Amino acid sequence: MTNAAVDRMLTVTLRVSRFTPKPERPGRRRGGSPFGSRSKSPFGADAGAGRTNRARGKRWTQDYTLDVHASDSVLDCLLAIKREQDPSLAFRYSCGHGMCGSDAVAINGTPTLLCTAKVRDWVRPDTPGFVGDDGFRPTGEPVDADAHALDLDALDPDTTLVIELAALPGFPTQRDLIADIDPMLDQIRKLEPYLKAAGELQVTDEGKINAFEYLQNPEQLARYELLSNCIACGVCEGSCPVYAGGDAFIGPAAMIAASRFINDSRDNATASRLTALMEPDGARACQSVRACSMHCPKGIDVGEELWQTIQKVDAARVSSEAE
């Protein structure tokens, strides 16, 4: 693609799956997966409570056509629509540059972040049925899902270009492009994602307090440093067909949070962290589909990390059974 193509002006239609929830009746609980049952999770007393079937409300698809630079982000497009066409369109973002993880959605059926997705990488010719109502691309049809393959230089100027947007799959939709990620955050919290270290008081040769440190060498840091970059965006969860089943699986993001501390040489709670992952919705629920690895915005090979952790959980189980 030439430099001119990279930043040329394009007329693009954003095809947005919209949703307005029905007003809640007093006393009704909110949140939860649209797929899960009201069952208690082994990871918490009330993890499944409040989970209902698909949220009720009005669903429709709305097209917004606008002129944009090919180098604009999809978030830029939505902000322009909100300013100039439809202030009622709901989406979530914060940092605008891939740091906060608040703006994960499905673009053309692929979970990813709005702010780092460039128009030039996601526009595609208008193809009916490219993305289903559930936000996923239908299977069975040989679809060229690699939007990067679109050659803007060779594009017929009359081609209608679209980008399809839906809320992050696998989570209940709160409104338009906003998914309720509370189930994921609850699951992460249950695995206690903070350092549990005894810490040793460091003293000088004279016995004076030097610093309160948790010492670690570069090799030890390297074992978990990448995992600590996880921004809990939920892209891996939105890609995971097992997580989309609801309470059956604690989910890749929670397991990455646990793995980050399991791999940290300063942490003293490895045994209890591994035990927590022995529950039925923990390591055993992962089916190693590895779709979670495909779009992590922080470059974490989520499936491989999960596999490494699953092996540690299995080893811990064998060892505890042998005792």
Binding-site partner at residue 293 among ligand FES, ligand SF4, none, CB < 5 to 8 Å by type: none
Contact between 191 and ligand SF4 by CB under 6 A: the answer reads no
Beta-carbon contacts of 108 under 8 Å, excluding residues fewer than 6 positions away, are 122, 124, 130, 131, 137, 145, 147, 163, 164
98: left (phi over 0), alpha (psi -120 to 50) or beta: left
CB of 233 to ligand SF4, least distance (A): 4
| Closer residue to ligand FES (CB): 100 or 291 | 100
Beta-carbon contacts of 61 under 8 Å, excluding residues fewer than 6 positions away, are 15, 16, 17, 18
CB of 178 to ligand SF4, least distance (A): 17
| Closer residue to ligand SF4 (CB): 123 or 232 | 232
Query: 285 to 304, contacts with ligand SF4 by CB under 6 A?
Result: 296-298, 300, 302
Contact between 188 and ligand SF4 by CB under 6 A: the answer reads no
The residue among 249, 234, 254 whose CA lies nearest residue 281 is: 249
* Residue 124 contacts residue 10 (beta carbons within 8 Å): no
CB of 160 to ligand FES, least distance (A): 27
* Residue 256 contacts residue 248 (beta carbons within 8 Å): no
User: Can you state the angle between helices 182-190 and 252-262, rounded to 10 degrees?
Assistant: 30
Report d(CA 48, CA 147) in Å as an integer: 37
Q: Which stretch binds ligand SF4 (CB under 6 A): 122-130, 149-157, 233-241, 269-277?
A: 233-241
Report d(CA 293, CA 123) in Å as an integer: 23
Binding-site partner at residue 242 among ligand FES, ligand SF4, none, CB < 5 to 8 Å by type: none
CB of 116 to ligand FES, least distance (A): 7
Residues that bind ligand FES (CB under 6 A): 93-96, 98-103, 113, 115
Where are the extended beta strands (E) located within the chain? 9-21, 57-69, 104-107, 110-113, 124-125, 161-167, 173-175, 178-179, 200-203, 209-213
CB of 252 to ligand SF4, least distance (A): 6
Binding-site partner at residue 264 among ligand SF4, ligand FES, none, CB < 5 to 8 Å by type: none
CB of 227 to ligand FES, least distance (A): 18
* Residue 250 contacts residue 187 (beta carbons within 8 Å): yes
Q: What is the largest CA-CA distance in the chain?
A: 80
The residue among 112, 138, 118 whose CA lies nearest residue 127 is: 138
| Closer residue to ligand SF4 (CB): 52 or 187 | 187
**x/- track of binding to ligand SF4 for residues 96-135 (CB under 6 A):** -----x----------------------------------
131, 163, 178, 230: which one binds ligand SF4 (CB under 6 A): 230
Q: Which residues are at the interface with ligand SF4 (CB under 6 A)?
A: 101, 230-236, 252-253, 256, 296-298, 300, 302
